[in-house]
Amino acid sequence: MSATATRHDWTLADVRALFELPFNDLLFQAQTVHRQHFDPNRVQVSTLLSIKTGACPEDCKYCPQSGHYNTGLDKEKLMEVEKVLKAAEEAKAIGSTRFCMGAAWKHPSAKDMPYVLQMVKGVKALGLETCMTLGKLDREQTQALAEAGLDYYNHNLDTSPEYYGNIITTRTYADRLETLSYVRDAGMKICSGGILGMGESVDDRAGLLIQLANLPEHPESVPINMLVKVKGTPLAEEKDVDPFDFIRTLAVARIMMPKSHVRLSAGREQMNEQMQSLAFFAGANSIFYGEKLLTTGNPQAEKDMLLFKRLGIKPEEREEHDDEVHQAAIEQALIEQKNSALFYDAASA
């Protein structure tokens, strides 16, 4: 069987045709494409940590961290480097291979960047893949993250260009694409996807996937989120996504971006085991693992492993370095932090 060609010229008509396929035909095609590029019984496992929570100046209508809405979320300052590294060690111990760090910023400030870079170096030293989501970046910040060893940068497009203005007004779609371009130019990998269940149409879901698949290079990681409705946000009363529509979107993403990891991301807590199993069959091969995604719940690690066992799925393995090398690198990262003589202003966010 010849491998499916990787395309960057998808049209709305092409993607509509995929969405309109009979469900069984769509899943068969997605699973066939999946098996051409991945072991169908391996799933990449990531852990996500909020390193700075709340009071974000963006007005994303889905986000409990936005300072525009009253969701009862406590505002927290940037975490200390040692605490982040401890959380990364714990994530590695439960089987994660990638450690993702998220900060509720529109963009990182100059005073925060040294700490962020120390986090990247320290987590990298543990033998974990590193990922960050910090908002909009400029070229200098992007290059600094790359030089520190950051593997992935997450910057979601969220939805189609046409529907985007209904969800966010404080950052443009062009801003998001610019950041993705900077990340790629700096040699890092891209993690970018979107959210289903925000009132968008099927054409908007198709439009999101077209934007991602028609980039010069496909994102290495494509998170597909199901809206987690949080009281106090404008989308708190939005209609639930139909489970079959969600699975269809995963399958179409797999077909359009055959070599990308498609991540079953936020909203997994609301999915039963049968829906998650269908998601894996549709081509999802990455999950967030642990008890919380930034500020919302996520199935506990033990529950995930039990499901994996029932399905015959195993976590993707990681390439590990010698433990002594890990320890030396961790110690060096902590020495750099102490020698920097930069003490974070507790009064700032």
Question: Mind telling me the catalytic residues?
Answer: 56, 60, 63, 100, 131, 191, 263
Residue 196, strand partner residues: 226
Task: For residue 212, give the amino acid letter.
Answer: L
Q: Can you tell me the distance from the alpha carbon of 217 to that of 63, in angstroms, rounded to the nearest whole number?
A: 28
Report H helices in 38-135: 81-93, 113-125
> Does the annotation list 263 as a binding residue?
yes
Structural contact between residues 35 and 288, judged by C-beta atoms closer than 8 angstroms:
no
| Look-up of token digits 């974990």 | 128
Residue 190, strand partner residues: 153
Structural contact between residues 232 and 188, judged by C-beta atoms closer than 8 angstroms:
no
Closest listed residue to residue 288, CA positions, set 11, 33, 47: 47
Sign of CA dihedral 200, 201, 202, 204: negative
Task: For residue 202, give the amino acid letter.
Answer: V
CA atoms within 13 Å, Cβ hemisphere of 333: 26
> Does the annotation list 310 as a binding residue?
no
Q: Can you tell me the distance from the alpha carbon of 147 to that of 294, in angstroms, rounded to the nearest whole number?
A: 26
> Does the annotation list 56 as a binding residue?
yes
Q: How far is CA 33 from CA 1, 38, 213, 330, in A?
A: 10, 9, 15, 40
> Does the annotation list 60 as a binding residue?
yes
Which one-letter DSSP state was computed for residue 66? Answer: B
Q: How far is CA 327 from CA 122, 296, 324, 331, in A?
A: 10, 32, 5, 6
Q: Can you tell me the distance from the alpha carbon of 53 to that of 154, in angstroms, rounded to the nearest whole number?
A: 16
> Does the annotation list 63 as a binding residue?
yes
Q: Residues comprising the binding site? A: 56, 60, 63, 100, 131, 191, 263
Known binding site for [2Fe-2S] cluster: residues?
100, 131, 191, 263
Give the residue ranges of the annotated binding site for [4Fe-4S] cluster: 56, 60, 63
